[in-house]
Amino acid sequence: MSAAAPHFVALDWNGTMVPFFGLPLFAGVVATLKRLRAASIPLIVVSHATQAQIEAEIHRVGLSFDQVFGCEDKAEILSHLRLQYGPGVLLGDHPSDGRAASEAGIGFLQAALEGQSLQAGADGLFRAWNEVGDLLLVPSADLS
């Protein structure tokens, strides 16, 4: 990836933003999203759920995003986002998230919020949401 901040951040939902549907956001999510917004980075949810499920979850927690995709094939959506915005990064927790990011040609930061080990192919991991802004907004971040 380039040394600049990503042009967009895609976010998985379960295991990344919340432990599971219906549960509270992980600590630090709101502050981190505000920090990314302040840097004018589009925030996009790309979740392996139905559109209605993910929209209900977003409404439940009171957040807003630039785009929201409940989808079966994350790689296809991420590829379109890369074409629309340029280099980006997916924050996700599952090996399938890493594969989708790789197929789409974007970076992948693994959410290891419950002590998971670094997955093969991940560009890095975060164990707390307050680490995300530092990983994405420092000039030396290399996530392409």
What CATH number does the domain containing 44 carry? Answer: 3.40.50.1000
Confidence bin at 2 (pLDDT 50/70/90): very low
In a domain, 80, yes or no: yes
pTM listed for this prediction: 0.91
For the chain, how many structural domains are there in total? 1
Would residue 2 count as lying in a domain? no
Q: pLDDT of 34-79, one tens digit each?
A: 999 999 999 999 999 999 999 999 999 999 999 999 999 999 999 9
User: Is there a domain that residue 3 lies in?
Assistant: no
Decide if 142 is inside a domain: no
Report the phi/psi class of residue 130: left, alpha or beta, with left for phi > 0 and alpha for psi in -120 to 50: alpha
Residue 94 C-alpha from the chain's centroid: 11
CB atoms near residue 62 (< 10 Å): 8
Alpha-carbon gap, residue 57 to 71, rounded angstroms: 15
pLDDT in tens, 93-125: 999 999 999 999 999 999 999 888 888 889 999
Q: Domain span at residue 69? A: 9-136
- Residue 11, beta-bridge partner list: 45, 91
Query: Is 53 part of any domain?
Result: yes
Residues whose CB falls within 8 Å of the CB of residue 7, separated by 6 or more in sequence, listed in order: 41, 42, 85, 86, 87, 88
Give the residue, 5 or 142, on which the prediction is more confident. 5
Q: What is the 3-state secondary structure (H, E, C) of 77-113?
A: HHHHHHHHHCCEEEEECCHHHHHHHHHHCCEEEEECC
For residue 126, the one-letter residue type is F
